[in-house]
Amino acid sequence: MQKIISYPISILYTFLFLFWLCVFHPIQWLCFNIFGYNAHKKCVAIMNLFLVRSTLVLGTTHSFKGIEKLPKNVPLIIVANHQSLYDIPPIIWFLRGWHPKFISKKELGKGIPSVSYNLRNGGSALIDRKDGKQSLAEIKKCAEFINQNNYSVVIFPEGTRSKTGVPKPFSVNGLKMLYKFAPDAYFAPITINNSWKMTRFGKFPLGLGNKLEFQVHEPLKISEYSFDAIFEKTEAIITQHIKK
């Protein structure tokens, strides 16, 4: 029954989603090319606020807890499990004070209004999963960028989204590069719950009435851990709090 009801509501939501992406694309361009980085960053944050609020038509609510644990004026490596594309707008909006960048596949760097422009120009790393050398070079560049500017980078080390909420094993390579080339940073583990329910029927229609939960855990200072120790601790913290 929910699937049937969701069709017309999902059409409305999809219209709103695409509408905001198209509206903010030229605004992003103006902000970046005329007013610079800070204006562009604020524009992206506001756009993602509109994207988050648009999910209200689906009966979706968001809970983002533990933000007060995050240190300020230091680089952060935000590590999270990945359940759907609906993980991303809340992170950009609620963590806007930490200037979040993303480790993203290069295919997203073109063809999507607003999203592709931000990924290309906002400091994120666009990696080719078939080219290990290129991927590691891009991640290194991003790590040095956030370390120098006290920004944050978001990485989903599962690699691909979990369609059932059950986490996949974390990949080592990307996290190891961030650990090595952002030595002043903290690992900031975040557990995401219920986002997968948005796409329980596939890309369309969307799930209704879901509460997306984001739990920020205690950050871990890189300088106080070996890579193996911080990797294992981060994965354990995140996965232990995923609801089944």
Domain ranges in the chain are: 2-240
pTM score, whole prediction: 0.94
d(CA 46, CA 141): 26
For residue 59, pLDDT over 90 is answered with yes
For range 87-112, the mean pLDDT: 94
pLDDT tens by residue, 195-232: 999 998 888 899 999 999 999 999 999 999 999 999 99
d(CA 193, CA 52): 16
For residue 1, pLDDT over 80 is answered with no
CATH of 2-240 given 3.40.1130, 3.30.70, 1.10.3470, 3.30.450: 3.40.1130
State the chain's mean pLDDT as an integer: 93
For range 146-151, the mean pLDDT: 97
Render the burial of 84-112: b for 16+ CB within 10 Å, e for the rest.
bebbbbbbbbbbbebbbbbbbbbebbeee
Instruction: Tell the residue number behind the tokens 């990696």, with chain if given.
Output: 127
- The percent of residues in the chain predicted with pLDDT above 70, rounded, is 100
For range 42-57, the mean pLDDT: 97
Q: 189 pairs with which residues across the strands?
A: 79
For residue 124, pLDDT over 90 is answered with yes
* Residue 113: alpha-carbon gap to chain centroid: 17
Residue 155: other Cβ atoms inside 10 A: 25
For range 30-51, the mean pLDDT: 96
pLDDT at position 3 is 82
> Quick check: 71 and 219 in contact, CB under 8 A?
yes
pLDDT at position 163 is 75
Residue 243 confidence class, pLDDT cut points 50, 70, 90: confident
